[in-house]
Each structure stands twice: as structure tokens, then as C-alpha cells.
Amino acid sequence: MKRQRELVGFAFREIQTKLVQEYGTLAGQVAKLNEIQAALPADTALVAWVDITPAGPNAADPDGEHRGVVVRSRGVPSWVSLAGTGPDGLWTKADDELPGQVRTAVQARPGASSVDIRPLLEKLRAQRLEPLSRALGATADALPAARRLIVLPSHALAGIPLELLLGPADMLTVSYVPSATVFIYLREQPRPDRRAGLLALGDPVGPAPMPGKQHEVEALAQLFKTDDRPARALLGADASEPELDRLAASGELGRFGFIHLAARGVVDESAPMRSALILTQTGLPDPLDQILNHKPVFDGRIAAGEILRSWDLKTELVTLSACEPLLSDAPGGEGFVGLTYAFLIAGARSVCLPLWKVDDKTTSLLMTRFYQNLLGKRPELSKPIPKAEALHEAKQWLRSLTAGQIEGEPALLSRGDARQPAKVEKTMPAGAATSPATESSGKRPYDHPHFWAAFVLVGDPD
């Protein structure tokens, strides 16, 4: 099993190298420190964790090397040793197992038998984040305390949103990038027209209908229209590979500033470019006829490799609003190499995606608020909010909602202007605890991180 995981990790690294070389995006070069720092605003920190396992029983460091690194816009990067919970700070088996316990606890639907996640999060916070607090604070050369964190992939912390480790007083927003080199590349690209429209796809025809995604797509399209922006919805049979292929070939796909894909996804860890979104599976053209007429053959899937080959985007944001996780847990944190990486290289400035499965109602509420923030379409807003801040605010709003407030909140089920209240069914999310206390109007049904923390933003935070 260990050998298999090593091979998978090698395959991911090889794929990433080939992508950079083949598509010329970054000319195969690794970013230099001065280039990274030039791309970082003064209030932003690039953060990463490095865990190196010992080379054998006679290794100089039998517990391995465990460090965090913080890069600010100027100064020397701060490398911080992370202590274990063993004698003299040695790393223990319990330390190795802690992130996995957090992943399991946060991804499981909360119920009567749920593990109390708070002690686990506090342990992980104390071990991974608190040692970096000095490096994230104001500096002697007049840098302000970091307000935004750009997080690089880490195998140990893969699938754990860093926001779970932030305390109530931590005024930080979090986003992710596959590498510092990709971050620089994205910051250098011309910004798409923020007044551009929306392409939203949902509820493709297949063995498992997704009616909640149809409502999600319709409501988001209506939200864009109320902001005087063009919006196109592809639903049911139209949520198909042939239609997306036609839009890509005609260049029309590149004119959408926002692409929202509410379809199931699959991750292929052994071949990342085969990771795919599952689209309409019926009514596809006959494969033999397509071949004889020198046309593409469709299988009802849009794979990462196809996106790289045929999509030319000028898109502010691609949202993968699927009900399955779309991030791999491959060794080394290379899970961004598949669909996410493909969208970024194809021209998306950022990608929003889930780390674990969340029910449709929760996703609908979160997505409504997220897009309202992006468009500045809430009465309290005077202008649009940057993407990372927009998602952060939507998460905090969702977790603070009481059962009574949920009744009157604008949900995607309304299919109308998101400013206008529409009644939401007064039901608890599937799998949630349903004691009389949690059903009372003052309780917060979505306060558990399982509901509010699943979605993350990868790419440019602005």
C-alpha cells in the first residue's frame, strides 16, 4: 500500500510537470522568492506546512521533520519548527493521526453519535497554526499583521479547511493555490470583465436526478439578470458534453465571466487528467457516426484533459457546486492537479469547490449568499466583495443562521431576486441531530463545520 501511494504521488508530480511544459503556462520555471514577494500584498501571507518522514530506523530525526513556513511581501521567510506532544517535543503517533481524526470528524454528518470536534481542532490549531502567529503578526519593518492567508497544499492537512483552526478573534480570510508559481501566474493575468455574465449548468440527465441543483441554477441565473448581466442556464438534457463542446469550439464559452457547474464529479488519483464532471448521459450522438464524420465522440463526461485541450476561458470564477468531493487526498497534497488545475490553466482566475459531500439545501443557501456578495447584491453592500472575502462572509453567515431565520431567508428555491425573502422549508439538513433543542427557532442548525466549511477557494483571492 505504501509503495502504491508513493507511485501515485510520483504520477501526480510528473503530470504537473508535463502540464506546465506542454501548455507553456509557466515555462516550466519555479518562482523565485523575490517574484513571490512581489505578488504578495502587504497584508497577505503565503503559508505552507512541510512534513518529512524519517528515512529509516537509524535516521537522525526518528520522529521526522515538521515545519511551517510563512512568506510575507518582504523579509526572510519564517521557518518554524512544530513540536510534537511527546517528551521534549518529539513527534508521536498521535500527532501523525490527529489530522486524519479531524478530517473524519468534520466530514461526517453530525448526529447523536458524533465525535466532539472542538478538542481535536484546538489540538491541531495549537500544533499547526499558533506557532506561526508571530510570523503572521505585524513586523519590525512596518508590515501590518496578515489579514489574508494564501495556503499551499499540504498532505497532512489536505481536506481540512484552515478556517477551522482560526479562533473568533482571528480576522483572516483564507484561499488556496496549487503552488506559489501558479499564484504569480494568476496575479499577472489580465482581469476578466467583472460585468461579464454567467453560464450555469445543473441537474444533468442521469441515473441520479439532482432537482435541487436545477433550483440553484435557475436562481443564480435570475440573480445575474437582476444585476443587468447576461445569464444562460443549461439544465437537464441541455447540461451535456456536446453543448459545452459547441460553446468551447465557437469561443462563446470564453465570454462568460462566471461558470457555475452543479454536476457530480469523480476524481481519478492514478490519472488526474481523467478526473471529470458527469454530464447528461442520454441522447448522445452515435459514436460510430461521429468517427465517420470526423467529429468528436462524446461519453457524457468532461474530463480535466479535455478542458485543457479545448477550453479557452477568460473567467473570473468557476464554481464546482457538486455534491461529491473534488479534491484528491494523494500524497504531497497534489489534489489540485486534476479538474481544479485544469480550469486554472484554461483561463479561470479562481475555482470554488467542495472538500466533502454537503446536502443541496446547505449548498444552495451558501451559494446564494456567496454570489450576492460577489455581485454586491445585498442591501448592506455598496460594492462587490472580493472572492475570498465573499466566501468567508457567506460561511460565517450560514453558520450563524438560526432555525427561525432560515424560514425567511432567500434561498435558491425562490427562483427570484435574491433580495426578496422567500420561505424555505423548515426542515433540518439531512443527517443533522433532531432533538427538540436543535429544532427550536433559536438554535443554529448549520453551526457544525460539516455544513459551513466544505467549500474552499483556489486561485486568486481577489
pLDDT in tens, 74-123: 999 999 999 999 999 999 999 999 999 999 999 998 886 678 899 999 99
| Of 241, 238, 203, 432, residue with least CA distance to 322 | 203
Amino acid 338 reads G
User: CA 163, CA 287: separation in Å to the nearest integer?
Assistant: 47
**Binning pLDDT at 50, 70 and 90, where does residue 296 land?**
very high
**Binning pLDDT at 50, 70 and 90, where does residue 57 land?**
low
Q: What is the pTM of this model?
A: 0.87
For a pLDDT cut of 70, what percent of the chain falls above it?
81
Q: What is the pLDDT of residue 256?
A: 96
Stretch 336-350: mean pLDDT, rounded? 88
Sequence ranges of the domains in the chain? 31-188, 198-424+434-459
Report DSSP state, residue 348: B
| Of 246, 245, 254, 249, residue with least CA distance to 190 | 254
pLDDT of 1 over the 60 cut: no
Stretch 434-450: mean pLDDT, rounded? 69
Q: What is the pLDDT of residues 249-263, one digit of tens each?
A: 999 999 999 999 999
Burial of 380 (0-12, 13-18, 19+ CB in 10 A): exposed
**Binning pLDDT at 50, 70 and 90, where does residue 454 land?**
very high
Please, are residues 221 and 198 in contact by the beta-carbon 8 Å criterion? yes
For a pLDDT cut of 90, what percent of the chain falls above it?
65
Place of cell 510537470: 17
Lowest mean pLDDT among 187-201, 289-303, 398-412: 398-412
Average pLDDT value for the chain:
84
**Binning pLDDT at 50, 70 and 90, where does residue 413 land?**
very low
Lowest mean pLDDT among 409-413, 429-433, 452-456: 429-433
User: CA 180, CA 190: separation in Å to the nearest integer?
Assistant: 18
pLDDT of 23 over the 60 cut: no
Report DSSP state, residue 251: T
Handedness of CA 261, 262, 263, 264 (dihedral sign): positive
Please, are residues 453 and 164 in contact by the beta-carbon 8 Å criterion? yes
Domain 198-424+434-459 part of CATH 3.40.50.1460: yes
Q: If you write DSSP's letter for every residue of 190-242 in order, what string do you get?
A: PPP-TT--EEEEEEESSSS--HHHHHHHHHHHHHHHHTT--EEEEEETTSSHH
What is the CA 450 to chain-centroid distance, rounded?
14
pLDDT of 431 over the 50 cut: no
Lowest mean pLDDT among 20-24, 65-69, 346-350: 20-24
Q: What is the pLDDT of residue 428?
A: 36
- What are the two backbone dihedrals, phi and then psi, of residue 426, each rounded to the nearest 5 degrees? -90, 75
pLDDT of 409 over the 70 cut: no
Q: What is the pLDDT of residue 389?
A: 97
Q: What is the pLDDT of residue 119?
A: 96
**Binning pLDDT at 50, 70 and 90, where does residue 61 land?**
low
Stretch 15-31: mean pLDDT, rounded? 56
> Residue 204 pairs with which residues in a beta bridge?
236
Stretch 7-31: mean pLDDT, rounded? 53
Burial of 359 (0-12, 13-18, 19+ CB in 10 A): middle
| Strand order across the 317-320 sheet | 78-81, 65-71, 44-52, 148-151, 173-176, 455-459, 350-354, 317-320, 258-262, 198-204, 231-236
Stretch 55-79: mean pLDDT, rounded? 84
Stretch 5-27: mean pLDDT, rounded? 50
Q: What is the pLDDT of residues 302-336, one digit of tens each?
A: 999 999 999 999 999 999 997 666 555 443 334 45
**Binning pLDDT at 50, 70 and 90, where does residue 193 land?**
confident
Cell triple for 86 = 511527546
Lowest mean pLDDT among 187-201, 303-317, 334-348: 334-348
Cell triple for 44 = 497577505
User: CA 77, CA 221: separation in Å to the nearest integer?
Assistant: 44
Q: What is the pLDDT of residues 207-235, one digit of tens each?
A: 888 888 999 999 999 999 999 999 999 99
- φ/ψ bin of 75: left (φ > 0), alpha (ψ from -120 to 50), beta (otherwise): left
pLDDT of 405 over the 50 cut: yes
